[in-house]
Amino acid sequence: MAKELAKFEDWPYKVPHIKSIVKKINALSDEFKASKSGEEAYKAYKKMSRYEDKIGDDITHIQVLYSLDTTNKKYEKAEEMLNEGLPLVSAATLNFAKAFVSSPYRDYLEKKLGSFIFTMYEYQLKGFDEKIIPEATEENSLVMKYDSALASCRIPFRGNVYNLPQMGKFLNDSDREVRKEARDAYDTYMNSRHDEFEEIYDKLVKVRTKMAQKLGYKSYTDLAYIKMNRFDYTPEMVASYREQIHDVVTPLAEKLMKEQFKYAGIKNPKLYDLGFKFKSGNPIPLGTTDEKVEHAKEMYKKLSPDTDYFFNFMADHHLLFLDAKPGKQSGGYMTYFPVHKCPIIFSNFNGTAGDVDVLTHEFGHSFQAYLARNIKVPEYRSPTMESCEIDSMSMEFFAEPYMDLFFDVPDKYKYAHLADSIEFLPYGVTVDEFQHWVYANPNATPEERDAEWNALEQKYTPYKVKAREALPWKSYPRWLTQAHIFDSPFYYIDYTLAQVLAFEFFNLDRKNHEKAWKKYVKLCKMGGKYPFVSLITKDGLKSPFEPGVLKKTINPLVKVLKGYHAENF
Ligand SMILES: [Zn+2]
């Protein structure tokens, strides 16, 4: 990491020129193809890597600036230009990938770079081809349309208007009347935009299916598994994992919900009560955003010298974008700048405990990127998506012993965090199974899709359906605001797999902190040198796909929850 790194706002803003990028990539591919020895091929590969880092850095810069202010015309134009141009860049890198995997110097390159990089490039080739550029372009612009539609949501509530993240606070307010009114306002508004969202999704499903067919796949699901780099697990393994969640976690989640309603004194629970856990209200973090950052500094100082150094580094260089603002995209993410060699954290603080979750979560991602920054082969720096989420979700749990810095009653937060994480699993697999169904039935009507969503909610979270049906008004179908379903298809089971591994870390941490932290750092440092199942196995973790692992991991958590005595909150 360069010590002299400028503060984020002082980074020069440059809109890359797509045609010149394509030209340069083609020239570098030609250079690779013309190499006369293994060493020459290796050098040409390195040159390409460096160039990809450079354009990756520029592109990420635009994407971040745009997500921070979607109303800025300059950024909007640049983002649009990128969305149109990026498929051309992908096509050009694909030509390089083709040359790379068929290089006569493959043996030499494997010696230098390992063999996994070849599998990666082979997947890239299987997942894209020039002939799907028109569809890929259309997909990008539909996703952009959805994102800005979501960011443009303005919900009138009690004389003011709020965007979706800002509504979170009222939806979980300790006053039941506020929750009810907020949910009513939310549903009424979202229902008014229902057809618009459905239409975008319908187009997305069709264009993705067309892409898959053009590439020779039976359905988009097969293509998506390749695009998601699922090197060592299959839809069948995922399906049986979902059944494990159904068998082990659904009944537990239902039991927890019932207990929570009892403790909170709620009879006849309605949908707007689901996020409300305690009579005394949900845990609310102390202080302003700046104060939360100060608390986080203290926490990371206590956790380890590395976390101490790196969190301060991020704060000092203005790499934390935490508050919700009008025009800002919703959600939270971390993204990495390969040339600046640092990440940024994007979130929408809204005064709920979610602020602490998102900060520790995204810092987990950031910390992984920091620990793996010196891996020489860029392709190995970051693991595949589900492995990335282990780093972030486990960090949420490693932060737990320091929650007295953020909360008056830290055990209340810890209970809520753990219970929420358990209750998340059935929701996560609902989102996943829904998508498997959608792409197996690409011609389904919006009504059929909503009906399937209902059926899956009934299977995995029957208590939600009951609470939803108890509303005096019609609630909008939840999946329409689950952005991943639109913009990152099939990227959701990843959270649930990672959640189970984060529970493994939590169990280990409670037994032996030093050992657990060492294991965590080792995992982060391995980056993406191995695919998911191999990576966790190499770190001595158990695979959630193995029968019985889920039950073994979840069981100790029930005891931990009991120990918090939620009945007293
Ligand atoms: Zn994450």
Domain count, the chain: 2
Q: What is the pLDDT of residues 19-32, one digit of tens each?
A: 999 999 999 999 99
- Does one domain contain both 121 and 225? no
With respect to residue 243, please indicate whether it lies within any of the assigned structural domains: yes
List Cβ neighbours of 179 (8 Å cut-off, separation of 6 or more).
170, 171, 172, 173, 272, 273, 276
- Does one domain contain both 424 and 540? yes
Candidates 307, 342, 366, 433; CA nearest to 6 is: 342
**Which whole-number Å values give the CA distances from 483 to 150, 151, 165, 266, in the listed order?**
8, 11, 13, 31
User: Which tokens sit at 284?
Assistant: 């609310």
Ligand 1: centre distance to CA 33 (Å): 38
d(CA 181, CA 351): 19
Give the CATH number of the domain where residue 488 resides. 1.10.1370.30
**Which whole-number Å values give the CA distances from 345 to 261, 348, 362, in the listed order?**
35, 10, 6
Terminal-residue alpha carbon distance, the chain:
45
Candidates 375, 313, 366; CA nearest to 344 is: 366
- Does one domain contain both 425 and 276? yes
- Does one domain contain both 116 and 12? yes
- Does one domain contain both 277 and 423? yes
Q: Which one has a higher pLDDT value, 554 or 280?
A: 554
Ramachandran region of residue 314, left (φ > 0), alpha (ψ -120 to 50) or beta?
alpha
List Cβ neighbours of 24 (8 Å cut-off, separation of 6 or more).
51
Q: What is the pLDDT of residues 74-123, one digit of tens each?
A: 999 999 999 889 888 988 999 999 999 999 999 999 999 999 999 999 99
- Does one domain contain both 106 and 239? no
- Does one domain contain both 93 and 240? no
Helix axes 194-214 and 410-440, enclosed angle (nearest 10): 60
- Does one domain contain both 119 and 237? no
pLDDT at position 3 = 56
* Range of the structural domain that residue 494 is part of: 220-285+407-569
Q: What is the pLDDT of residues 522-539, one digit of tens each?
A: 999 999 999 999 999 999
Beta strands in 296-383 (DSSP E): 320-323, 333-337, 342-349
- Does one domain contain both 539 and 432? yes
For 162, phi then psi, to 5°, come to -135, 150
Confidence label for 352 from pLDDT (cuts 50, 70 and 90): confident
Query: In which element (H, E) is residue 524 found?
Result: helix 513-526
Ligand 1: centre distance to CA 79 (Å): 23
pTM above 0.75, yes or no: yes
With respect to residue 385, please indicate whether it lies within any of the assigned structural domains: no
**Of the residues 128, 153, 188, the one at which a domain ends:** 128
**Of the residues 76, 111, 128, the one at which a domain ends:** 128
The string of DSSP letters for 236-286 reads HHHHHHHHHIIIIIHHHHHHHHHHHHHHTT-SS--GGGTT---TT-S----
Grouping H, G, I as helix, E, B as strand and the rest as coil, residue 346 is strand
Helix axes 446-460 and 410-440, enclosed angle (nearest 10): 140
CA atoms within 13 A on the CB side of 534: 12
Ligand 1: centre distance to CA 391 (Å): 8
Confidence label for 221 from pLDDT (cuts 50, 70 and 90): very high
User: Which tokens sit at 503?
Assistant: 């529970």
Q: Is the pLDDT of residue 2 over 60?
A: no
With respect to residue 373, please indicate whether it lies within any of the assigned structural domains: no
- The arithmetic mean of pLDDT across residues 43-49, rounded, is 97
Calculated CA dihedral for residues 488, 491, 492, 496, nearest 10 degrees: -160
Q: Is the pLDDT of residue 1 over 60?
A: no
Ligand 1: centre distance to CA 363 (Å): 9
The mean of the pLDDT values for the chain is: 95
Ramachandran region of residue 283, left (φ > 0), alpha (ψ -120 to 50) or beta?
beta
For 321, phi then psi, to 5°, come to -115, 90
- Does one domain contain both 568 and 438? yes
Q: What is the pLDDT of residues 304-334, one digit of tens each?
A: 999 999 999 999 999 999 998 888 988 899 9
Strand bridging mode 333-337 / 160-162: unpaired
Ligand 1: centre distance to CA 334 (Å): 8
With respect to residue 401, please indicate whether it lies within any of the assigned structural domains: no
Candidates 333, 346, 260, 338; CA nearest to 56 is: 338
With respect to residue 23, please indicate whether it lies within any of the assigned structural domains: yes
Ligand 1: centre distance to CA 555 (Å): 25
Confidence label for 264 from pLDDT (cuts 50, 70 and 90): confident
Ligand 1: centre distance to CA 490 (Å): 14
- Does one domain contain both 412 and 518? yes
Q: Which one has a higher pLDDT value, 169 or 414?
A: 414
Ligand 1: centre distance to CA 494 (Å): 9
Confidence label for 277 from pLDDT (cuts 50, 70 and 90): confident
**Which whole-number Å values give the CA distances from 522 to 340, 383, 397, 517, in the listed order?**
24, 13, 17, 9
User: Which tokens sit at 526?
Assistant: 């391995």
**Which whole-number Å values give the CA distances from 417 to 7, 357, 410, 422, 461, in the listed order?**
33, 8, 10, 9, 18
Ligand 1: centre distance to CA 446 (Å): 29
Ligand 1: centre distance to CA 332 (Å): 8
Ligand 1: centre distance to CA 387 (Å): 10
Confidence label for 510 from pLDDT (cuts 50, 70 and 90): very high
- Does one domain contain both 77 and 224? no
With respect to residue 185, please indicate whether it lies within any of the assigned structural domains: no
Q: What is the pLDDT of residues 164-186, one digit of tens each?
A: 888 988 998 889 999 999 999 99
Q: Is the pLDDT of residue 477 over 70?
A: yes
- The arithmetic mean of pLDDT across residues 508-512, rounded, is 97
Q: Which of 142-151, 244-253, 552-561 has the lowest mean pLDDT?
A: 142-151
With respect to residue 165, please indicate whether it lies within any of the assigned structural domains: no
**Of the residues 128, 148, 169, the one at which a domain ends:** 128
pLDDT at position 173 = 87
- The arithmetic mean of pLDDT across residues 434-450, rounded, is 97
Query: In which element (H, E) is residue 161 found?
Result: strand 160-162
**Which whole-number Å values give the CA distances from 162 to 17, 22, 326, in the listed order?**
37, 42, 8
For residue 250, the Cα-to-chain-centroid distance in whole angstroms is 23
- The arithmetic mean of pLDDT across residues 386-391, rounded, is 96
pLDDT at position 213 = 97
With respect to residue 242, please indicate whether it lies within any of the assigned structural domains: yes
Ligand 1: centre distance to CA 338 (Å): 18
The DSSP call for residue 131 is G
